[in-house]
Chain A
Amino acid sequence: NAGVMQNPRHLVRRRGQEARLRCSPMKGHSHVYWYRQLPEEGLKFMVYLQKENIIDESGMPKERFSAEFPKEGPSILRIQQVVRGDSAAYFCASSARVETQYFGPGTRLLVL
């Protein structure tokens, strides 16, 4: 059973460009979560999605950030007009039920 897949593993963008991060949950998991980790810090919750629905986006910045989990295909975290402060590791997690989340390897975003 493959784990949570994230791609790309590393992403470099210049200021003002768009970043698209992808996450495929574990087989049989219908809950997807996105977290952000700044250097030397713990993970911070961003958004929780189920298929075609955003359940909790209380951790998402109000502007430039959006997330989706379509009926078919991976979940996408999209960051428009990236700034240097967006540089971080972005982790996706999935769960079959809500209690235990399993994490992907993360995407390291570097904004130049």
Chain B
Amino acid sequence: AQTVTQSQPEMSVQEAETVTLSCTYDTSESDYYLFWYKQPPSRQMILVIRQEAYKQQNATENRFSVNFQKAAKSFSLKISDSQLGDAAMYFCAHLIQGAQKLVFGQGTRLTINP
């Protein structure tokens, strides 16, 4: 069965600093996708970044980048130049090719200190 584990319930970072959120997953499949979603206090789920497992290059979206280690089944999110608006719950999610259902981790609450 698919599982996604986020081992950091809470993280905090100073504004303008860099923070890394951890995520590990377990799957026996070779074709899959990984995502980071952000859930601010409004509780809207916002897609931050996505990674295809077949791509070796790590995905990047502006200040957000991932470190995808397929052999280790690790998918961490790095946020550079942290901003107050980055404060939110961050969820890592896994999607098996052809399965259509996202499996989410428990979430990491990120606080940005001014």
- Residue positions of A touching B, CB distance < 8 A: 31, 33, 35, 41-45, 48, 55-56, 58-59, 89, 91, 93, 98-103, 105-106, 108
Contacts and interface: CB of A to CB of B under 8 A. Distances in A.
B11 interface: no
Size bracket, chain B contacts: 20 to 34
Contacts of B85: none
Contact of B91 (A42, A56, A93, A100): A42
B45 interface: yes
Interface in B22-80: 33, 35, 37, 42-47, 50, 52
A4 to B, nearest CB: 10
Given A33-B100, A98-B98, A103-B37, A42 B42 contact: no
Contacts of A45: 101-103
Interface of A is mostly: strand
10 contacts: A42-B105, A42-B106, A45-B101, A45-B102, A48-B101, A59-B101, A99-B52, A100-B47, A103-B45, A108-B43
B50 A100 contact: yes
Nearest to A44: B104
A55 B37 CA distance: 24
B13 interface: no
B101 A43 contact: no
A102 B107 contact: no
A56 B45 contact: no
